[in-house]
Structure 1
């Protein structure tokens, strides 16, 4: 009996430790979220600076750089405190993502030097900043993928989609700012903006689906955002191919997009508060449950060993040992009940996690398929996505199913996409 009881207690302690690791992982995600916001602001101001050939927006860019540096210091300080202390969830996978993000961020000074020296084009600078942001967003995705609590995983997935939508909005801001500041827009930029608008709509739809708690607040926010001004400026951009754009609109575009992104960041912060609160709630509940279990276990210490048939019944849900088996039936039943309850609870968590993570698995398929198309067909991200989507529509299939089919034949068709262009 003592071995059974000891392992029941150890299971609870392990679960509590995993939740505490998850809470620390969430703290890192939130620090990364703050840095992403400031890097997005820095990217937009850098594009304005470059598109104006350095004649304008130098002061704004300097302010954004300083804000990014402050956010970076906070993230570095958090990581240094944790490097030799308590761990985070996800093990090697998550720590590898942290290392990749830090390696990407190490390239930030070089990007800034290129912007200051005007040796980068707005498109080049935007792409390099976007790679930094993508490395940080991968941290959020990984955290959601390794989370051991379905409710926390749902909020992390919601946060990821919100941040991904905001990143698409930031890339749209940077692309449009460069076009307005330069007084012209090319076909590639038009297609990029159209793609980014669609990505925003998809991301925000997934965000709402995974975060019921913010549904009402999100709908209320839509009435506060400068969406009518944004749509007006979008129309000017998308219809400006082949004719001059009014460069004086660069400030209005940047201000309008920034106001929207600031509001989205406020939603991020609110969601972060929900996430931290849920982590604390889950840990406190588990601690209370553990204390109750410990009290029950202490009452069972010193009783006779659990017979094999009773332990077997606990594992498969069969009948418990009878009183004639030579031990007290009330003691056997109490332990079996605890084993069954814990087993059923963990199975429920596993099933819920599988359902929640299905969305992440679909995203992985689509991203990998886009990568194959970009590598084998020489397409950019927007064109790769359009090709996948068009084939999904033509075949009346889900986008994830088309992506999965492409991945299945990619190794057999080197240099080919396997899709009709």
Structure 2
């Protein structure tokens, strides 16, 4: 029996290390493909969720044909995901126990889809429950994306993965917003609970996209910033405002459900194209790293030279400590918690730092929520002036502003006071200020 120690040498260890590095990059490339396929299915299910909710909310009067067409488009994506899952359970793919468990959970969800679709077809469930059911399934798929990315084990691509994860999250939040907004518009009636959820989803998207912008490459960041300037973005913002400021139970224009759905879809598609390009960039990076590592593998002398020229980071601190020509400096942290300035942090480190940053942003988010609520009150006050005094939107807002300045009161206080005025007060003011053109 051969003695393992007999084949032990520095060169063998270095060559084996390089081979393991190649295997790790190949696994990452394979995981990038898995993320791509999961992303395609998620996008299909997001669209199915939106049209299904609107179909139920409109009592089957809207989106019936679109819903059937979307279901047909999702079917091959389900099949493709099963095929990729089958590839990833092979021993050489390095799938973790957690990943296999999440794959099983995803398959369980896919197997429940026919029954869910039948219930929706028969209008045997509420629009809210259908949105929640699809969101439940999508959440499991997103959890799998997060785990697969986190298990990549290559700190050098951590920034790219952090950007990808938050982009996926933003896309799902935008998808939920599309579904709830379409549900509200298709129902023809405002609902405060759903309005609050839409406001929350708008906040959540801004958070996710802020992190994406911080970690994404400049070209992708610039593309998203440019997307915010297109006319559709301004149209969507107007529909968002109309939806969020409507009084509970107030009538909504059901004809706007299609417009809302299309505008939200344009936004989601823009996010999806960013995701596709990010995954493509990740694959290209993997291919380049594999090629480079294979070339290094053929140069065993170069690998040994690289080993000597790049000792572990901790040794540098020790050398400085024992250098008699310098004052003694601190030895490396025994826990190894610090990250060298030129070293890429691991994905877990980056996500943890982002979690800490998100915690510090809670005060800012609270201000954002308060601002949204204030805007809602001001918009209602404008609506009252427009309805009762015949003002247009611009004149109504100027009236509120002028009162605010004249009385040295906050605009919000003036808006609240306006909403509390009885009808006869407006009748008296209308007599003194006749409608334009009268």
Query: Is TM more than 0.5 here?
Result: yes
1:182: which partner in 2?
187
Q: Deviations over 1:70-90 (max 9, x none)?
A: 11111112222343363146x
DSSP 3-state at the match of 1:352: coil
- For residues 186 and 387 of structure 1, the distance between their equivalents in structure 2, rounded to whole angstroms, comes to 27
Secondary structure at 2:345 match in 1: helix
Q: Which runs of 5+ in 2 are unaligned?
A: 1-6, 306-310, 320-338, 370-438
Q: In the TM superposition, what is the alpha-carbon distance from 1:224 to its structure 2 partner? A: 3.0
Query: 1:241-289: per-residue Cα shift (whole Å, max 9, x none)?
Result: 2311111111111111112212221111111211111111122222222
Is the Cα contact below 8 Å between 2:11 and 2:300 reproduced in 1?
no
With the length of structure 2 as denominator, give the TM-score of the two structures.
0.69
Residue in structure 1 matched with residue 77 of structure 2 by the alignment: 71
Distance in 1, matches of 2:178 and 2:282, equals: 28
- 2:132 & 2:223 partners in 1: Cα distance? 32
Matching of residues 58-137 of structure 1 within 5 Å: 58-84=64-90, 86-88=92-94, 91-137=96-142
Structure 2 distance, partners of 1:76, 1:289, is: 36
Q: Can you list the C-alpha shifts for 1:172-199, whole angstroms capped at 9, x where unaligned? A: 1110111111111211111101000001
Q: Given the alignment of the two structures, is residue 195 of structure 1 paired with residue 200 of structure 2, yes or no?
A: yes
CA contact (8 A) 2:31 2:149 kept: no
| Deviations, residues 69-128 of structure 1 (Å, cap 9, x unaligned) | 111111112222343363146x22333332232223322222212211111211111111
**Pick aligned residue for 2:172 from 153, 167, 170:** 167
Cα distance in 1 for partners of 2:193, 2:350 equals 30
Among 291, 314, 317, the alignment partner of 2:298 is 291
* Aligned mates of 1:181, 1:281 — CA distance in 2: 49
Give, in angstroms, the shift of residue 364 of structure 1.
6.9
CA RMSD of aligned residues (A): 3.3
Shift of 1:316: 4.3
Question: Structure 1: any 5+ residue segments left out of the alignment?
Answer: 299-311, 320-346, 370-384, 394-421
Q: Which moved more, 1:57-66 or 1:204-213?
A: 204-213
1:270 corresponds to which of 252, 277, 292: 277
Q: Does 1:18 align with 2:24?
A: yes
Q: Contact (CA 8 Å) 1:149, 1:349: kept in 2 or not? A: no
Look at both structures and tell me which one has the larger radius of gyration over its CA atoms.
Answer: 2
- Contact 2:169 2:208 (8 Å CA) reproduced: yes
Answer whether contact 1:150 1:349 (CA < 8 A) is retained: no
Query: 1:128-173: per-residue Cα shift (whole Å, max 9, x none)?
Result: 1111111111122112322222242322221111111111111111
Q: In 2, Cα distance between the equivalents of 1:148 and 1:195?
A: 33
Q: Residue in 2 aligned with 1:57? A: 63
| Contact 1:150 1:353 (8 Å CA) reproduced | yes
* Aligned partners of 2:85 and 2:103 also within 8 Å: no
Distance 2:149 2:340 in 1: 18
CA–CA distance in structure 1, aligned partners of residues 304 and 141 of structure 2:
44
255, 267, 277: which is aligned to 1:248? 255
Equivalenced residue count is: 336
For residue 234 of structure 1, what is the aligned residue in structure 2? 240
Q: Is the 2:182–2:261 Cα contact (8 Å) retained in structure 1?
A: yes
Report the more deviating stretch, 208-217 or 38-47.
Answer: 208-217
Matched, 1:43 2:49: yes
Equivalent residue, structure 1, for 2:228: 222
| Separation of aligned partners in 2, 1:83 and 1:112 | 29
Does 2:286 align with 1:279? yes
Q: Is the 8 A contact 1:145 1:360 kept in 2?
A: no
Matched, 1:360 2:345: no
Q: Distance in 1 between matches of 2:231 and 2:81?
A: 30
Encode CA deviations 1:327-376: one digit per residue, 9 max, x unaligned: xxxxxxxxxxxxxxxxxxxx86995233x433423677899x9xxxxxxx
1:140 to 1:153, Cα distance in 2 relative to 1, 3 A:
farther
The 8 Å contact of residues 89 and 100 in structure 2, kept in 1 or not, is answered as no
Aligned twin of 1:205: 210
CA 1:225–1:202: 2 relative to 1, 3 Å = farther
Whether the 8 Å contact between 2:296 and 2:303 is mirrored in structure 1 is no
Q: For 1:136-155, list aligned pairs within 5 A.
A: 136-155=141-160
Q: What SS does the corresponding residue of 2:81 show, helix, strand or coil?
A: helix
SS class of match (1:86): helix
